[in-house]
Structure 1
Amino acid sequence: MRHVMACLMFLGTTVSYATRVSMSVGIVAMTSNNSYGHPVFSHWTRSIQDTILSSFFWGYIVLQIPAGYIAGRFGGKYLMLISMATTGVVNLLLPIAAIKGDYIAVCACRIVMGLVQGLLYPSLHGVLGHWVPVTERSRLGTFVYAGAQLGTIVELLTSGVLAASPWGWPSVFYVAGISCIVWSVLWLIFGDSTPDSSRWISKEERNYIETNAGSNKIGHEKIPTPWKSILTCLPFWAILLAHSGQNLGFWTLLTELPSYMKNVLNVDIKENGQLSALPYIAMYILSFFFSWLADFLVNRKIVRLVTSRRIFNTIAQWGPAVALLGLSYLPAGNLSLAVIILTITCGLNGAHYVGFMLSHIDLSPNHASTMMGFTNGIGAIFSILAPLTVSFVVEDETSAADWRKVFFISVAFYFLVNLFYLLFISADVQPWNEPKPSKALEDGVKKSDEKKADKKLRNTGEHKF
């Protein structure tokens, strides 16, 4: 059943990311004259299009921390259901909103989509913490999160085809919406927050997971969140900084690098759908290799779990840093080498799934959703800062020297946050993972022990004194 759950969560991340990317491709068709009789929004300027594309993140930041807290207290099943079902409905309504309300209504739809998708990752991380045994954590965790790359690949390769079909650009959003609704039905039937609450799981598998996952065996019993312990925990700050550096570097790479390649290297990667998808394909494939290798090294006791986390987080962050430096000094017009470096950069970044992403669960399976909500929320702010950094630093888009400043900022972040991670990360379950017993419970246990001792003394004929 844990494998069924992993497949469902994998499909969830795949569909959710596909809906995020759908607008990136759909907006091109929406503003194009070749739309098979469907409404055309040719009056949308570059500024309006950028506003529409960024509006998703305005909502995405808001509910990250509350979602992590709620999922930690009450479980993630229904938060994930609300997230995906609402995303599906919004996608189905988006074409009508665009026709009736123009770009303002589209922005409103994207903000709502961002709000509800802000519930997804914190909830999913908490569910993973309860369902995945330590020995399978790298493989199943990577499998689930690699759906993000697959969703991006599928959307890049299919949205253009759908938009160019007689069904036109609305079909891009209809397909995305229907996919979300179908997933929501499957999740409602088969999904559960914990093995303890699942009606499909066998008793043997439940015992196996509860023995090896490190989470609360009773399920969700409204465990209070130890905020002070979390916020004063150095390994947690190592995760937070690694997550923030990852988002700044990766989103600078994916949102702004195509502009650099076009304006400085005279290479337009967006003209070729296959080339656009290639970096994501590399990241998707290599993430599975890294996850298998991580579990192999730990389960064979070749390295400790914390050493594995350090190795793969270094590959994920210092590897792209080196590749970015190489790309910033690449001669103009060299398409093949540019695409190879970009593909290697994204491919190496796939190791972060078995780096800091799973460290939340290592530290505290019971509070993984809360920590994920916190780090993902802060990380989302750095995702927004990525394009703003380019706007602030790059005065001449054709100047290689200006773009190098942007790359040096990303390289510096990658280097420093991973260095902090190497120094302070831990893979040990923290003492604050389990709730402290109440004073009444402690007194009860003490009295119970005294009664047992008295009974034993009476049975043996001995006196208490």
Structure 2
Amino acid sequence: MLSGWRLALSKLFIIPQRYVFAIMAGLAIANAYTMRVCLNLAITQMVKREVLVEGDAHFDPDACPDPAAPVNVTSFIRGVARVDTTQFEWSEATQGLILSGFYYGYVLTHIPGGMLAEKYGGKWVLGLGLFITAVCTLVTPIVVEWGGAMALFALRVFEGLGEGPSMPGLMCMISRWGPKTERARIGSIVFGGAQIGNIAGSYLSGIIMHDGKWQDVFYFFGALGVIWFVLWIFLCYSTPNTHPFISDEEKKYLNANVDSLIHTNKQKLDPVPWKALLRSVPLWALIIAGIGHDWGYFTMVTDLPKYMTDVLKFNIKTAGILNALPYIAMWISCFFFGTICDFCVKRGWHSIPTARKIYTTIAATGPGICIIMASYSGCDTTLATVWFIAAMTLMGAYYSGMKINALDITPNYAGTTTAMVNGIAAISGIITPYLVGILTPESTLKQWRVAFWVCLAVLVVTNIIYIIWAQGEQLWWDDVKTHGYPAGWKHGPLTMREVDAEDTKKEVEEQKDKH
């Protein structure tokens, strides 16, 4: 039973603690994305740009008119004639390398973060990871003005190291707080935070830099990250059973309806079954789908601000506002798809495996086609923006598809499997910005069209693989005691109890042989 003060605290909340967690987790992702992507828009104001005229070697005859281009000036800040901040002479390839720097560190700490979250709980793994990111964001202006491109690249790598464990830690917590029948809804609230982050990061960055300096963006979002961390410490806990003021009714409900809690309440979780995990075809199908998702998503998140300023010639304030619109659409659509998915599953209209494949297909092929259409819209800025909005609207279906599939197939080891999926898929974040930089050296419309065709190809191929081999129910190796071993398994026992039993049997046999 709850003590007096805990009971009083529990009554202060008008919504269940699992949704308090979902909201705070959504804000965690929002902060993570604002701090991760604010550089994407800020870099358009940090870099000098040469004005090309007809007759120059790289002049683009199909270039959109630039209403803000200065007259008789050889350089400017991407559509803004006034020069009142520090500017750097970085090539497109250098910018691509800087933008990809975050993901070099991000990839490395995913699996260690997932294992730590499963062993010690996700609260501190997630919280401290984002706190490190917040500190790195706050010091970005100082570091870049001191050490230039290489110092900024190194800082972004370190920032990625800090944020890498955050998603595995978060997924580990969702697996402890999310009942199966509410998983898509909770997932939509949590992962919808990514769109809040992209919206705020784009819109507010445009406003801040239009009226101030690019440095202010990093101070603002870094400070928000620190404030979130303080609230997270006091409001959220790794599991319902360690939460000090959750109601007895909700705790009882979650312990009866959350698979991972049911399992851990019965027995201690065994070490990660790597032998089976690395041989799991459905898990690798999920990883490949993650690569497709990240390729499309990072192409939009990282490079859309550059496309809007370089090709469509929006000024920084307009680019910030218009860059936010697709993410507003995606945020709304992820709730729509999540609600529809849960409704259809509860009614029995389709199974969970079918749902994951349907929504992943919508989220992969739809956006790929839309960004191609945007590139063929030429300088019709209204039509291009509509296509980008449509692309991100359809991409919202990912959160009812492959993004929560790890919770279906491996609820007990969701931290580690999410770490594998996100960690390997995040390699796309390393490749795409640098590849786009190489494919668009002069940032012309035709060069960008090639980059978008590459994106469509990756989305379609990875989705086909997912459709063929993905599953939506718990895999046998996630709970060997319940499901047993598949026919033909020749790789030895997975659980420590079986290993110990086998060792004991061998010792007994050896003793018999001696006698």
Identify the TM-score tier after normalising by the shorter chain: 0.7 to 0.9
For each residue in 1:168-211, what CA deviation from the matched residue of structure 2 results, as whole angstroms up to 9, or x when unmatched?
44432222222112211222122222112211222321221122
Equivalent residue pairs, number: 437
The corresponding residue for 1:250 is 297
The corresponding residue for 2:418 is 372
* TM-score scaled by length of structure 2: 0.77
Residue 257 of structure 1 deviates from its aligned partner by 5.3
- 2:438 is equivalent to residue 438 of structure 1: no
The corresponding residue for 1:111 is 157
Contact 1:125/1:369, CA 8 A, preserved across alignment = yes
The corresponding residue for 1:313 is 360
Contact 2:25/2:170, CA 8 A, preserved across alignment = yes
For each residue in 1:258-289, what CA deviation from the matched residue of structure 2 results, as whole angstroms up to 9, or x when unmatched?
666777xx633565222111111111111111
The corresponding residue for 2:224 is 179
Contact 1:321/1:410, CA 8 A, preserved across alignment = yes
The corresponding residue for 1:277 is 324
Contact 1:258/1:268, CA 8 A, preserved across alignment = no
The corresponding residue for 2:178 is 132
The corresponding residue for 2:139 is 93
Amino acid at match of 1:367: Y
Deviates more, 1:291-300 or 1:22-31: 22-31
The corresponding residue for 2:458 is 413
> What is the CA–CA distance in structure 2 between the aligned matches of 1:182 and 1:390, rounded to whole Å?
35
With over 3 angstroms needed to count, the CA separation of the structure-2 counterparts of 1:44 and 1:390, relative to structure 1, is: closer
- 2:381 is equivalent to residue 340 of structure 1: no
With over 3 angstroms needed to count, the CA separation of the structure-2 counterparts of 1:346 and 1:3, relative to structure 1, is: same
Contact 2:126/2:169, CA 8 A, preserved across alignment = yes
With over 3 angstroms needed to count, the CA separation of the structure-2 counterparts of 1:109 and 1:343, relative to structure 1, is: same
> What is the CA–CA distance in structure 2 between the aligned matches of 1:100 and 1:391, rounded to whole Å?
25
> What is the CA–CA distance in structure 2 between the aligned matches of 1:384 and 1:88, rounded to whole Å?
21
> What is the CA–CA distance in structure 2 between the aligned matches of 1:124 and 1:204, rounded to whole Å?
24
Residue 362 of structure 1 deviates from its aligned partner by 0.3
Contact 2:44/2:306, CA 8 A, preserved across alignment = no
The corresponding residue for 1:2 is 18
With over 3 angstroms needed to count, the CA separation of the structure-2 counterparts of 1:276 and 1:393, relative to structure 1, is: closer
- 2:117 is equivalent to residue 71 of structure 1: yes
Matches within 5 A, 1:25-104: 25-30=41-46, 40-46=85-91, 49-104=95-150
The corresponding residue for 2:283 is 236
With over 3 angstroms needed to count, the CA separation of the structure-2 counterparts of 1:347 and 1:203, relative to structure 1, is: same
The corresponding residue for 1:451 is none
With over 3 angstroms needed to count, the CA separation of the structure-2 counterparts of 1:399 and 1:143, relative to structure 1, is: closer
The corresponding residue for 2:510 is none
With over 3 angstroms needed to count, the CA separation of the structure-2 counterparts of 1:137 and 1:147, relative to structure 1, is: same
For each residue in 1:67-126, what CA deviation from the matched residue of structure 2 results, as whole angstroms up to 9, or x when unmatched?
122222322111112112212222233333344444444333322211101111111111
The corresponding residue for 1:358 is 404
> What is the CA–CA distance in structure 2 between the aligned matches of 1:395 and 1:181, rounded to whole Å?
37
Amino acid at match of 2:247: S
The corresponding residue for 1:188 is 233
With over 3 angstroms needed to count, the CA separation of the structure-2 counterparts of 1:102 and 1:420, relative to structure 1, is: closer
For each residue in 1:293-320, what CA deviation from the matched residue of structure 2 results, as whole angstroms up to 9, or x when unmatched?
1111112222211221121111101212
Contact 2:270/2:496, CA 8 A, preserved across alignment = no
* TM-score scaled by length of structure 1: 0.85
Contact 1:77/1:191, CA 8 A, preserved across alignment = yes
> What is the CA–CA distance in structure 2 between the aligned matches of 1:216 and 1:442, rounded to whole Å?
26
Contact 1:74/1:222, CA 8 A, preserved across alignment = no
> What is the CA–CA distance in structure 1 between the aligned matches of 2:397 and 2:467, rounded to whole Å?
15
With over 3 angstroms needed to count, the CA separation of the structure-2 counterparts of 1:440 and 1:227, relative to structure 1, is: closer
With over 3 angstroms needed to count, the CA separation of the structure-2 counterparts of 1:408 and 1:49, relative to structure 1, is: closer
The corresponding residue for 2:349 is 302
> What is the CA–CA distance in structure 1 between the aligned matches of 2:34 and 2:387, rounded to whole Å?
25
Matches within 5 A, 1:11-26: 11-26=27-42
For each residue in 1:335-393, what CA deviation from the matched residue of structure 2 results, as whole angstroms up to 9, or x when unmatched?
22211111101110110011001000001111111111111111111222223444555
